[in-house]
Each structure stands twice: as C-alpha cells, then as structure tokens.
Amino acid sequence: MFATPYFRIPLFIGLMVLYIALIGSIVPFLAVVFILLLLFLLAFSGKLPQPIDNVVRWIWQRLPFSSQGRTGSAVVKAKDTTAKGTAVVSEKKRREHCREEARSALEGLLGAEEALESVNRLINQIQHAAGGSGFGVHAKAVMILLSGPAGTGKTYISEVVGKLFYGFDVLPSSRNFSLTKNKLVFQDAGSLFETIASETHGGTLIFDDADWLFEASAQSDERPIGEVGSALQEFVNEYPDNFLIVVNGSSEKLEELIVGTGHKWLRDFHVITASTRHLELNELLELADRRFEERDFSLENEAVPLIEKQFKREFSDKKEHFENAFAVSQLVNRVIAYRSQDVQSNASRIIRAQDVEGAFNYEL
C-alpha cells in the first residue's frame, strides 16, 4: 500500500501540515525541503559518496511522484517521463563522451599496439556477451598486466582504459586509484581497499611501477605480492565486477606473477597480458609528420634531415621522457611556434629548414 503514489500523496500532505502545526512555522519545513533538493542534485550529478548516495536515492524513490526505482541505480525511474528521459540521456551522454574521448586518446598510440589489441579483444568480448554482466567473463574481476620499459606510456594507458570501460557501461565509475609503493607500505592493503570502496562504488585500481611487489625486503624473505594479492582477492569477491585491476611493471617481474607458484588468489581474476615498447627512429619521424599534417603544416624536404638530427640528439642524451611518443608533439609545437613568429611568410604552411634550425638553435 505504501508503494502506491495514491496513498503517499495524502500521507505526504498530512505529514507536512502536521509538521507545520507542531513547529508553528513554515521556515524549518522550507529549510528541510531545500536541503533535500540540494542532496538530490548532488546525487544525480554523482558527487555524493556511495553510502549517502544510496540513502538519498531511497528517499527520492519514496516521494509521492516516484512509483518505482532501484536503490543505488545510476538512473532513477520516475513516473514523470520527462524526468526519466533526462536522467537516462544524461547518464548515457556521460558514458558516450567518456568512451569517445578515451578511444581518441588511444587511437594511433605508437609503441602500444599490443596493449591496445588486447584491450580491443576484451571490448569485443564484452559486446558479444549475450545476457552477461560486467566484463562478460566468469571471473570476479579483470586484471591487466601491462609490461614495458619506463616512459612508454603504461600509466597513461591504464588511466584511459579505465575510462574506456566506464564508457562501455562495464564499470560503474570512471575514477582511477593509483596504488604506489608509498601507499601500500605504510598501510594495510585490505584496509586501503576498503577505504576505496567506501569512497566510490567502482573504478580502476592501478598498481603503478609494481616491480617492488615481487622483491623481498631486507628484513624478510616474504614478498609483498602475497599479502597484497590475498587482500585483493577478498576485495573483488566482496565487490565483483565493480573494479578493473591494472598492474604496471617490467616484463620480467610480471612474468613471475603468471608462471610463479603460490599465487592461488590469481584464479579469481581474468588475466590479460599486454606490453608497450620503445619507438624506433622511423616511427618517430612518421609520427612527427602526422602531427604536422594535423596542424595543416607540411615539411620541406630540407627540413626532414634536421628533424631526424634532433631525434638522434635526444636519443644520444638518453632522455627517458623522449621515449614516450607524446614528446613528439612537444617538438612539433616548438617548431610551429617558431615558424609562426615569421610575420612576413606567416601565410605559408610549409615548415622550412631554417624553422627547425631556429627552433633548436642549430649553428648554420
């Protein structure tokens, strides 16, 4: 009976009149209404912690105009079809925007072809999982082991992949949680995971630079991966399909996790291996040419050897950050900025040899 709006409407009006009569003023009532409206707005915009969000949605679903709904659901089903449509569209648009933004960021990312191929296979598996939920796998959670040299974009890929899966309606949130050595050494892993769960109802846990997990400390032969792995197993069993796990590190250490013994907790995960790599010189040149074209510039033939010379100089200096393809964009921007200073020939969209020389202060 309490579930029908026909009963709740007079009940709501009666309680309102009784409240005003007892208090003797309408001001406190209006204050309560204002606070509730504020909480509803925060809940629908995803700004409230999950426990408070659930309570607010429970109240919303029991207001006179709400005839049905699910506690904790991302979309509140209201009797008013306009409100319902707005909520659905808003959530759908957020996910679509996140999905397209993530795909755009990953598209054409040189040096990470294998990693992106593994991610795309999982996405295809999700889309073809008839009637399934979550990642479309039987395990409690998905773990991506992403190996590769330093500076090749592992952390960046991990963060974007989490947003991509949120866009595909697999994860309930696009939030990323970076779990570094400093966080895990000074806090119990299980307590840390529970703290994360209390703040959000899902997201991506990123174990960044995780080689230390497989190394014994000076005081003990025990490696941290055992304790962390067991805590992670309990965590995903309590919150199945809510979190994506990404572990970044060297190929040597991550291979130990797969082929080593004593990792029974890993059975509760659907494990995907992927890797990144350094870029070859010809790939960097190809990427630079592509970036110039995207800005509607073309390279003069005499400018190409100078660009190549700059790449070789960066390699000889062993600047680790340059091994990341994103540094190419910085180089392109620097040359274009110098080119734009030439007011007399600014109308031309051709990068000349002197532009490259000037941008990097070469001796003529």
CA atoms within 13 A on the CB side of 23: 14
Residue 89: inside a domain = no
Whole domain around residue 33: which residue ranges?
5-79
Strands of 211-325, DSSP E: 243-249, 269-275, 298-299
Given this model, what pLDDT does residue 364 score?
41
Q: What angle do CA 92, 93, 97 make, to 5 degrees?
A: 120
Are residues 15 and 124 located together in one domain of the fold? no
Are residues 52 and 100 located together in one domain of the fold? no
Whether 20 shows a pLDDT value over 80: the answer reads no
Residue 337 sits in a domain whose CATH number is: 1.10.8
Are residues 219 and 202 located together in one domain of the fold? yes
Are residues 200 and 342 located together in one domain of the fold? no
Place of tokens 């080119």: 339
Whether 71 shows a pLDDT value over 60: the answer reads no
Given this model, what pLDDT does residue 229 score?
92
Are residues 249 and 141 located together in one domain of the fold? yes
Residue 85: inside a domain = no
Whether 82 shows a pLDDT value over 60: the answer reads no
Residue 114 sits in a domain whose CATH number is: 3.40.50.300
Given this model, what pLDDT does residue 62 score?
55
Domain boundary among 275, 304, 320: 275
Given this model, what pLDDT does residue 69 score?
36
Given this model, what pLDDT does residue 219 score?
66
Mean of pLDDT values over 139-165: 86
Residue 88: inside a domain = no
Q: Tokens standing for 215?
A: 């190394």
Given this model, what pLDDT does residue 77 score?
35
Are residues 200 and 179 located together in one domain of the fold? yes
Report the chain's mean pLDDT, rounded to a whole number: 76
Residue 198: inside a domain = yes
Residue 152: inside a domain = yes
Are residues 111 and 223 located together in one domain of the fold? yes
Are residues 105 and 248 located together in one domain of the fold? yes
State the total domains in the chain.
3
Are residues 111 and 247 located together in one domain of the fold? yes
Buried residues in 143-162 as b, exposed as e (16+ CB within 10 A): bbbbbbbebbbbbbbbbbbb
Whether 207 shows a pLDDT value over 90: the answer reads yes
Residue 364: inside a domain = no
Mean of pLDDT values over 308-327: 67
The contacts of residue 192 (CB under 8 Å, 6+ apart) are 179, 183, 184
Given this model, what pLDDT does residue 244 score?
92
Given this model, what pLDDT does residue 72 score?
35
Are residues 254 and 302 located together in one domain of the fold? no
Give the Cα separation of 16 and 26 in Å (integer).
Answer: 9
Whether 247 shows a pLDDT value over 90: the answer reads yes
Confidence of residue 43 (pLDDT cuts 50, 70, 90): low
Mean of pLDDT values over 60-70: 47
For the stretch 85-134, pLDDT in tens is 555 558 788 888 988 888 888 876 767 777 888 888 877 777 665 444 55
Given this model, what pLDDT does residue 2 score?
39
Are residues 29 and 120 located together in one domain of the fold? no
Confidence of residue 4 (pLDDT cuts 50, 70, 90): very low
Domain boundary among 250, 275, 300: 275
Pick 28 or 95 by higher pLDDT: 95
For the stretch 215-224, pLDDT in tens is 876 666 778 8
Whether 255 shows a pLDDT value over 70: the answer reads yes
Minimum mean pLDDT range among 193-207, 245-259, 280-294: 280-294
Domain boundary among 275, 300, 315: 275
What residue type is assigned to position 97 of the chain? H
Are residues 107 and 232 located together in one domain of the fold? yes
Given this model, what pLDDT does residue 133 score?
52
Give the Cα separation of 16 and 30 in Å (integer).
Answer: 10
Confidence of residue 81 (pLDDT cuts 50, 70, 90): very low
Of 90, 98, 84, the residue nearest 46 (C-alpha): 90
